[in-house]
Structure 1
Amino acid sequence: MKKILYLLLLLTFATQAQETSGIIDKKNEIRVDVLSIIAFSKLSVSYERFFSTDYSVGVNVNYANSNKLNDDFDLGYRNNLPKFEINPYIRYALSKSKTRYYFAEIFGSYNGGDFKEIIRVTGMAQPDYYITKKSSYTDFGVGGSLGYKMYFHDAFALEVLVGFGSNLFNTDKSPDVISRVGINLGYRFK
C-alpha cells in the first residue's frame, strides 16, 4: 500500500513539474489586443520577454487610423487624435502560479498624433475671424497597470489589462490621460 501511495505522489510531482517546466522554458510571447481592434479600430501588438518566473519586459505598439476616429476629429468632437503609441513596460507577477497569475506593470508611453485648435485672427483692415489650425504632437508619459494572464496548453495566452498614466511634456496638445486597457490573445514560444 505504501508503494502505491509513493508511486502516486511521485507521478503527481512529475506531472506538475512537466506542466510548469513547459511554460517556464518558453521565454518569448507575442500578443494581439482584440478589444482595441473591435472597439477602437486600433491595431495593438505586444512582445514580451520573460527573464525569470516573476519578471518580464516587453513593448506594445499601437496604430490607429480609422474613419470613425478621423470623422470625430474633423467634426470637432475631439481636439486631439492619437495616431501611434509605443509602450515599453516592466512586469512583476503577483501570484505564484505560472499558468494563471495576476501582475503589476510600470510602463512608458511615447505617443503622437494630430491636434486641432480654433484660433482668433485679428486684422487691421478687416474684422476678426476664427480659423481651425491643425498640427501634430508627440509626447512621453508614464503609468501603471494591473492585469490577469492565463495560459492554455502551455502556449496560448489570454490576458486582461487595465492601466492609466499621464503625459508629461507636451500637455497643451497631447491627451492628459493615457490608457492601457485591453483583452489580449497571445502565443508563448521559445
Structure 2
Amino acid sequence: MKKFILILLMFSALANAQESTPNPRKNELRVDVLQAILSSKASVSYERFLDNDFSVGFNVNFTSSSKVKTDFDEGYVDNLPKYEFNPYVRYALSKGKKTYYFAEVFGSYNGGEHKEIVYKIDENLNGYYDTQKSNYTDFGAGAALGFKLYFTDSFGMEVLVGFGYNFANTDKSPDKISRVGIGLGYRF
C-alpha cells in the first residue's frame, strides 16, 4: 500500500511538473481578419513570449481601401490613415495555457494624408476656398485588453480592444488611435 501511494504521489508530481512547464513555442504570427474584412486593412503581428506572463511584439497595418479613399476625396473624413507600426508589451491576467486574458500597453507610429479647406486670396483680391492636402506622421500610446484562445498548441485566435492618443501632430493626424481586431495566428 505504501508503494502504491508513493507511486501515485510521484505520478501526480510528474503530471503537475508537465503542466507548469512553459510552452516551448515562443513565437507567434497573426493576421487580423476583422480589419481585412471591415476596412480592407492588411494587419500582421509578431509576438515573442518571454515567459508565462510577459510577451513583446509589434503590429504593422497598411490601408489601401477604395471606399476609405473615396470618403476622403468626397470630404466625409479629413484623414486618410495609410500605415501604422505598433510595438507592444503584454501581461497575461489569467494563467491558462489554452485560454487567457491579457492587458497590453502599445506605442504607435502612424501616417497618412490630411485634407483641410483653406481660405485664399488671389492677386485681384478675390477670396475663395481651396482644398489643401498634406501628409502627416505622428506617434502615440495607448492600452488594450484582449483574450486568446488556442485550438491546438499552434493555432489560435485573439480578440483585442484598445485605444490611445496621438501626441505630436494632432492638428493633422487623428486625435485617437485604436487597436481593435480579431486575429488568427500560428505559434511556433
TM over 0.5: yes
Give the drift of 1:11: 6.0
Structure 1 residues 42 and 9, CA gap change in structure 2 (3 angstroms): farther
Matched-pair contact (CA < 8 Å) for 1:20–1:99: no
Q: Distance in 2 between matches of 1:16 and 1:37?
A: 41
Q: Distance in 1 between matches of 2:35 and 2:66?
A: 15
1:30 equivalent in structure 2? 29
Which AA in structure 1 matches 2:46?
Y
Residue 119 (structure 2) pairs with residue 130 (structure 1): no
Q: Distance in 1 between matches of 2:175 and 2:124?
A: 39
Give the drift of 1:123: 2.7
Q: Distance in 1 between matches of 2:158 and 2:166?
A: 25
SS state at 1:71 partner: helix
Runs of 4+ residues deviating >4 angstroms? 1-21
1:85 equivalent in structure 2? 84
Q: Distance in 2 between matches of 1:10 and 1:184?
A: 40
Structure 1 residues 19 and 138, CA gap change in structure 2 (3 angstroms): same
Q: Percentage identity across aligned positions?
A: 61
2:60 equivalent in structure 1? 61
The TM-score, its normalising length taken from structure 2, stands at 0.91
1:94 equivalent in structure 2? 93
Structure 1 residues 4 and 78, CA gap change in structure 2 (3 angstroms): farther
Structure 1 residues 10 and 187, CA gap change in structure 2 (3 angstroms): farther
Give the drift of 1:171: 0.1
SS state at 1:24 partner: coil
Give the drift of 1:152: 1.6
Which AA in structure 1 matches 2:145?
L
Which AA in structure 1 matches 2:152?
H
SS state at 1:103 partner: strand
2:182 equivalent in structure 1? 183
How many residues align structurally? Answer: 188
What whole-Å deviation, never above 9, does each CA across 1:45-99 have from its counterpart, x for those lacking one?
0000011100000000000011111000000000000000000000000001122
Structure 1 residues 50 and 123, CA gap change in structure 2 (3 angstroms): same
- Structure 1 residue runs without a partner (length 5+): none
Q: Distance in 1 between matches of 2:10 and 2:71?
A: 62
Which AA in structure 1 matches 2:86?
N
The TM-score, its normalising length taken from structure 1, stands at 0.90
Give the drift of 1:8: 7.0
Structure 1 residues 6 and 34, CA gap change in structure 2 (3 angstroms): farther
Structure 1 residues 62 and 16, CA gap change in structure 2 (3 angstroms): farther
1:117 equivalent in structure 2? 116
Q: Distance in 1 between matches of 2:20 and 2:157?
A: 17
